């Protein structure tokens, strides 16, 4: 069981009369995560994730892996360092690489601290013993740190120089097969974001430095978003303003209507249909049914793990209290017992012990936080619990030991407190756990076909 008294939880303490100088614009999630001691700034653009927030990161990783494996993904790990020679072969080293970190080893060989791994994973397949068409499609993914020298690192984990990312690379025999894979992974991405229960939008996007023939972004709508999106109220099309180029941004490219509404978005995931942009120059091939080599057809798919968490909090939270997606909340339940030395302490602790046992059976010891800091008042501990955004906070106070109709306080995140009898409290906790299980059991619906994808993009050529 998790005990609050044992947690490393370096919350910022600001004296009442202190004058705080604001040196940068802070996002809501950045401010709360920092003040509550869940995330600590390192050097400029880097962040240290403390134990409570790390639980949310681990849950996000597990949820992503669950979805990737359901989509046929196989997990690998690639080195952070990629030889720049590979990027020269694909032509990307001649592009705008100002935001990428370069390092040299003692022999003078130059490496990229990989912001992405298209070249590295393609070169790996190119140097593998001949791959048969029978082994395809291949869907390889990893989860690890990425590095980008952001010109303006801001809003905490939403725009950092070092961040955690899931990147998948797929290899198919034909363009048509790659399109089916694209539809399959796109559907899995939509499933993942539905499971988080945070409103999101899928938009047509420019392929940019990544290249390829098709690209989509997944966004959370927020005023602090750095992308301008255009949504069509008539047909549902959505696109990043970048895809419009020199054409009119007043006309929907899908239905030709004029109902385009601009909104700000935080990009949390991106998909690309790459074709042979990387496999051809790097010589990544497979043996076809005739035993002859053909170039592999690629796709790549990224999800910003830490950015998803920060952006979800940005959308859901208030100015004073965090609000977590249910599947990412560090703990399901926080239990607060009586204050030390209070007149109800002894009898209330009997209820508290019984409740701990029952809650452990319902939600598991790992999902239960016992705020055992009894030297603090119930009010102070409840204040902390509300700010941390626990989905369910239960208080064993004076009313829990009254002779007639003993009641517990139940605080649902973002809702008014309820005074309920023990069975009612346990019933609501059970319902919360069941809802989480239902979210996890949600499977991707039938694979999206190419026609469905065209509602979000103009072409699959």
Q: What are phi and psi of 277, to 5 degrees?
A: -55, -40
SS3 446: coil
Would the pLDDT of 211 be above 50? yes
Mean pLDDT of 309-333: 97
Q: What confidence tens digit (pLDDT) does each residue in 325-362 have?
A: 999 999 999 999 999 999 999 999 999 999 999 999 99
Give the pLDDT score at 15.
65
Q: What confidence tens digit (pLDDT) does each residue in 41-65 have?
A: 888 888 999 999 999 999 999 999 9
CA 291 to centroid of chain Cα atoms: 42
- Cα–Cα dist 330/231, whole Å: 34
CATH number of 52-316, picked from 3.50.50.60, 3.40.190.10, 3.30.930.10, 3.30.499.10:
3.30.930.10
146: β partners: 163
Note whether 68 and 74 are within 8 A (CB): no
Q: 262: which 2 tokens?
A: 């601009």
SS3 294: strand
Which residue, chain included where needed, has tokens 């809650």?
Answer: 359
For the chain, give every residue range classified as CATH 3.40.50.800. Answer: 333-440
Report the percentage of the chain scoring pLDDT > 70: 92
Residue 18: pLDDT band (50, 70, 90) is: low
Mean pLDDT of 92-113: 91
State the fold for domain 333-440: Rossmann fold (3.40.50)
- Cα–Cα dist 178/298, whole Å: 7
CA distance readout (Å), 29 to 20, 33, 35, 261: 18, 6, 10, 26
413: β partners: none
- Cα–Cα dist 78/184, whole Å: 24
- Cα–Cα dist 293/284, whole Å: 9
Give the pLDDT score at 461.
31
Q: What confidence tens digit (pLDDT) does each residue in 216-257 have?
A: 999 999 999 888 999 888 888 888 988 887 677 788 888 888
For the chain, give every residue range classified as CATH 3.30.930.10. Answer: 52-316
**3-class secondary structure for 15-31?**
CCCCCCCCCCCCCHHHH
Question: Among candidates 166, 145, 140, which has minimal Cα distance to 62?
Answer: 166
DSSP letters along 151-201, please? TT-BTGGGB-SEEEEEEEEEEESSHHHHHHHHHHHHHHHHHHHHHHT---E
């Amino acid at each position: 069981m998790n005990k609050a008294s044992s947690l490393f939880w370096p919350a910022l303490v600001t004296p009442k009369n202190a004058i705080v100088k604001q040196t940068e614009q802070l996002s809501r999630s950045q401010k709360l995560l920092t003040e509550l001691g869940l995330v600590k700034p390192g050097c400029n653009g880097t962040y240290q994730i403390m134990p409570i927030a790390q639980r949310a990161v681990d849950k996000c990783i597990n949820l992503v892996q669950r979805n990737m494996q359901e989509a046929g993904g196989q997990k690998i790990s690639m080195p952070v360092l990629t030889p720049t020679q590979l990027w020269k072969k694909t032509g990307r080293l001649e592009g705008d690489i100002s935001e990428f970190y370069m390092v040299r080893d003692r022999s003078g060989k130059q490496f990229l601290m990989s912001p992405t791994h298209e070249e590295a994973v393609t070169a790996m397949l190119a140097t593998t013993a001949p791959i048969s068409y029978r082994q395809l499609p291949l869907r390889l993914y990893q989860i690890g740190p990425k590095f980008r020298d952001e010109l303006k690192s801001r809003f905490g984990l939403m725009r950092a120089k070092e961040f955690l990312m899931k990147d998948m690379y797929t290899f198919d025999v034909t363009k048509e097969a790659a399109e089916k894979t694209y539809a399959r992974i796109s559907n899995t991405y939509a499933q993942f974001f539905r499971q988080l229960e945070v409103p999101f939008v899928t938009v047509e996007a420019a392929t940019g430095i990544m290249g390829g023939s098709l690209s989509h972004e997944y966004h959370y709508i927020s005023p602090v978003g750095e992308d301008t999106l255009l949504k069509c109220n008539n047909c549902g099309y959505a696109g990043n303003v970048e895809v419009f180029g020199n054409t009119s941004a007043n006309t929907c490219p899908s239905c030709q209507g004029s109902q385009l509404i601009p909104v700000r978005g935080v990009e949390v995931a991106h998909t690309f249909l790459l074709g042979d942009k990387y496999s051809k120059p790097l010589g990544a091939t497979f043996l076809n049914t005739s035993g002859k080599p053909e170039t592999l057809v690629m796709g790549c798919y990224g999800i910003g793990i830490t950015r998803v968490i920060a952006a979800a909090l940005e959308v859901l939270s208030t100015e004073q209290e965090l609000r977590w997606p249910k599947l990412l909340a560090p703990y399901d339940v926080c239990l607060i017992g009586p204050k030390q030395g209070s007149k109800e302490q002894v009898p209330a602790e009997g209820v508290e012990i019984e409740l701990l046992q029952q809650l452990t059976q319902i939600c598991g010891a790992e999902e239960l936080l016992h705020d055992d800091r009894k030297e603090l008042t119930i009010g102070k501990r409840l204040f902390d619990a509300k700010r941390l955004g626990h989905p369910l906070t239960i208080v064993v106070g004076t009313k829990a030991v009254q002779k007639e109709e003993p009641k517990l306080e139940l605080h649902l995140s973002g809702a008014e407190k309820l005074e309920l009898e023990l069975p009612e409290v346990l019933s609501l906790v059970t319902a919360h756990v069941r809802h989480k299980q239902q979210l996890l059991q949600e499977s991707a619906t039938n694979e999206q076909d190419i026609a469905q994808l065209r509602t979000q993009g103009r072409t699959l050529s």
